Amino acid sequence: MTASKVNGPVLQDIIRGLGVTVCIFGIALSVPLLGFFVSLLLPLPVMFYRSKLGRRWGAMIPVVSFFLMSVLFGRVSLDLIFFAELMLCGFVMAELINADYSLEKTILYACGIVVAAGYAVLFFYAGSRDMGVAELVDRNLAANLDLSFKIYTELGVFPEENIQLIKDSLDRIRYVLLRMAPAITVSFLMVVMWMTLLISRVLFQLRNLYFPDYGPLKFWRAPENLVWGVIGCGVVMIFPDSSIKMIGANGLLILMTIYFFSGIGVIAFYFEKFGLPRPLRIFSYAIIMLHQIALIFVIGIGFFDIWINFRKRGLSGNNDQ
């Protein structure tokens, strides 16, 4: 793509991409509750315009957006760094898609690159404020937990008789979250990437952009060898030392996220098999994401699918009819 084309359709695409990205940025930073969910869309426009415009002009979308938001809010904060990581996530996935990597490698490599870049940025950002990364994250966790507690209390989410109990538990919650931060980060990124791939596949096809043929994701299954990882993490958690236990807990959380993808594929398969209406499917997915019991149930399906192969049974049922 030559520089002379920048004044034509390419410039219009760059402006559109910046407009969409900055709007998502603005909502994410301005609206406390809705903003977090809106921010999950940040990888999508970056990924789309990187694939459409190429590496050189596509990179302008996240770079200029981050600069504009930094100027608008007057400083670089942890929130801006978090959103920058989401944009990097979209850009890296577009690179891997164009390189025609498999689904597993696309998510694995993108997750590794984004996590490494994120911790590198946190290291330098914490150093510029004369504190360690753990201290920086701990302070941010404390501030966010206090803010969330205040918002949920005002909204009446917590029963009045439990408010004090929850308030007294915030320090313990912060302690656990800080030590589970690596796994939470990886799991969160994997979920965001999976969602982005689902949406972008439809968008790219509508815009006649290249998208790899991963096949129907409802048939995706977790690799069988992962069960040894679960066993290993379980053994590690038997150790009395709390630091060693946290290593096992971090590993289990990441593995459970992978099994969730496998389980949700089984759910999607049977939703389609029985012709469940789309509104009811959306409602069911929302229940799964918000209800702990449903979430654990789906993870369990993904784990036992290694031996039972639920979808094969469903296909056999179709053949018998």
Q: pLDDT tens digits for 101-126?
A: 999 999 999 999 999 999 898 888 88
**Residue 253: pLDDT over 70:** yes
Instruction: Please give the Cα distance from 308 to 78 (Å, whole number).
Output: 44
Which residue stretches of the chain are H helix?
9-30, 34-39, 43-53, 55-58, 60-73, 78-98, 103-128, 133-155, 163-179, 181-206, 226-236, 242-273, 278-290, 292-308, 310-320
How would residue 3 be classed by pLDDT, with cut points 50, 70 and 90? very low
**Residue 156: pLDDT over 70:** no
Distance of CA 150 to the CA centre of its chain: 25
Q: Average pLDDT for residues 302-309, to the nearest whole number?
A: 88
Q: What is the amino acid identity at position 258?
A: I
The residues, ordered by sequence, that sit 6+ positions from 21 with a Cβ below 8 Å of its Cβ are: 42, 45, 46, 61, 62, 65, 87
pLDDT for residue 200 = 92
Between the alpha carbon of residue 234 and those of residues 110, 238, 252, 306, the distances in Å are 27, 7, 8, 18
- pTM comes to 0.86
How would residue 177 be classed by pLDDT, with cut points 50, 70 and 90? confident
The torsion angle over the Cα atoms of residues 264, 266, 269 and 275, rounded to 10 degrees, is: -80
pLDDT for residue 158 = 62
Q: How many CB atoms lie within 10 A of CB 271?
A: 17
pLDDT for residue 306 = 86
Q: Average pLDDT for residues 197-208, to the nearest whole number?
A: 90
Distance of CA 129 to the CA centre of its chain: 28
**Residue 4: pLDDT over 50:** no
**Residue 91: pLDDT over 90:** yes
pLDDT for residue 51 = 92
Percent of the chain residues topping a pLDDT of 70: 91
Average pLDDT score, the chain: 85
**Residue 35: pLDDT over 80:** no
**Higher-scoring residue by pLDDT: 213, 75:** 213
Query: pLDDT (tens digit, 9 = 90+) per residue, 227-239?
Result: 999 999 999 988 8
57, 12 in Cβ contact below 8 A? no
